[in-house]
Structure 1
Amino acid sequence: MSCILCQEGVESRDHLFFSCPFEGDVWSRVLRVMASSHRIGHWGVELSWICHQGIGKGVRRKLWCVLWCATIYFIWNERNHRLHGGQARDPIVLFHNICTWIRVRTGSWQEGFRACKKEDASVESNQDLGWGFSKRKSGSN
């Protein structure tokens, strides 16, 4: 079966999540948000990489883990959406959906990241892409 996202490659786990041009656009936005120079590889490399990112404590570690899982989920969701007759969405829409989900999921964390604000000049509405966190008083989680 050919990839429903790009119509170029044969659909496989590695292609769908890490080598399809469609998801490549999504991953590049995610990596820019996290100010990462990481280059996407195949499933085994990525799984090892995210496990390494998850070592230690702190908000950034948690954010990496949640963001990686959310990106995988939203790519799979887009694939299923198209497969079952839904209209194709652009990578930027997927990225915005990921950002929104992350803001909701992590809203109670003590500190957040504002990296999205500086990214994505291609957004025509020039809306704020920040995670939407606010710094809370000490002692809050």
Structure 2
Amino acid sequence: MQQKLATIDQLHHRGITLVNRCVLCKADNEMHKHLFFQCRFSDIVWQQILTWMRVQHRTSKLSKEVHWMAGRRVRKHWKAQWFSSCLGAIVYNLWEERNIRIFQGLEHDVDYIVKRIQYFVSIRLLYVTHPSKEGEIIDCFNA
């Protein structure tokens, strides 16, 4: 949220010079806003997860997404946890994929990232957050 991740543009401001190219889309400079919201790769991940959540929404920047998610909270309903879990999982998995590409030289496709996000969010909802709501959650995922 504070845009302090060590993206290439941030490293450049600290005096570390690297080729400034997004490793996810390989098209634009890597900046915080680009990496999570303007990158073609990231945008596809966002849209597939939002479709999975049955939400029609366009992403823009992290602070707006947090505000949008907060506005969707209805008491302590498990769907509010679903939305916030997805937000965290998307940002984490995009950052992790970026680092895997840079430091390990491996690449995963969008489908892999989306399935990974869905798996982690589902596990969190089913086994950590609301075990008593398992049937309702599974019905919603399968709808």
Work out which of the residue numbers 10, 30, 50 in structure 2 matches 1:11.
30
The answer on whether the counterparts of 2:81 and 2:125 sit within 8 Å (CA) in structure 1 is no
RMSD: 1.7
Higher helix share: 2
The answer on whether the counterparts of 1:17 and 1:75 sit within 8 Å (CA) in structure 2 is yes
Q: Counterparts in 2 of 1:126-137, with a 5 A limit?
A: none
The runs of at least 4 consecutive aligned structure 1 residues that moved more than 6 Å come to: none
Letter in 2 for 1:112: I
Alpha-carbon offset, residue 116 of structure 1: 5.4
Higher relative contact order (CA 8 A, sep 6+): 1
Cα separation, partners in 2 of 1:70 and 1:41, compared to 1, 3 Å: same
Query: Could you tell me which residue of structure 2 aligns to residue 100 of structure 1?
Result: 119
The answer on whether the counterparts of 2:78 and 2:125 sit within 8 Å (CA) in structure 1 is no
Work out which of the residue numbers 22, 47, 57 in structure 1 matches 2:76.
57
TM-score normalized with structure 2 length: 0.75
Query: Could you tell me which residue of structure 2 aligns to residue 22 of structure 1?
Result: 41
Cα separation, partners in 2 of 1:32 and 1:113, compared to 1, 3 Å: farther
Alpha-carbon offset, residue 55 of structure 1: 5.0
The answer on whether the counterparts of 2:23 and 2:102 sit within 8 Å (CA) in structure 1 is yes
**Percent sequence identity over aligned pairs:** 26
Q: Which sections of structure 2, spanning at least 5 residues, go unmatched? A: 1-19
Give secondary structure in 2 for the equivalent of 1:7. coil
Cα separation, partners in 2 of 1:86 and 1:113, compared to 1, 3 Å: farther
Aligned length: 118
Give secondary structure in 2 for the equivalent of 1:54. coil
Cα separation, partners in 2 of 1:17 and 1:32, compared to 1, 3 Å: same
1:112 matches 2:131: no
Give secondary structure in 1 for the equivalent of 2:82. helix
Query: Could you tell me which residue of structure 2 aligns to residue 69 of structure 1?
Result: 88
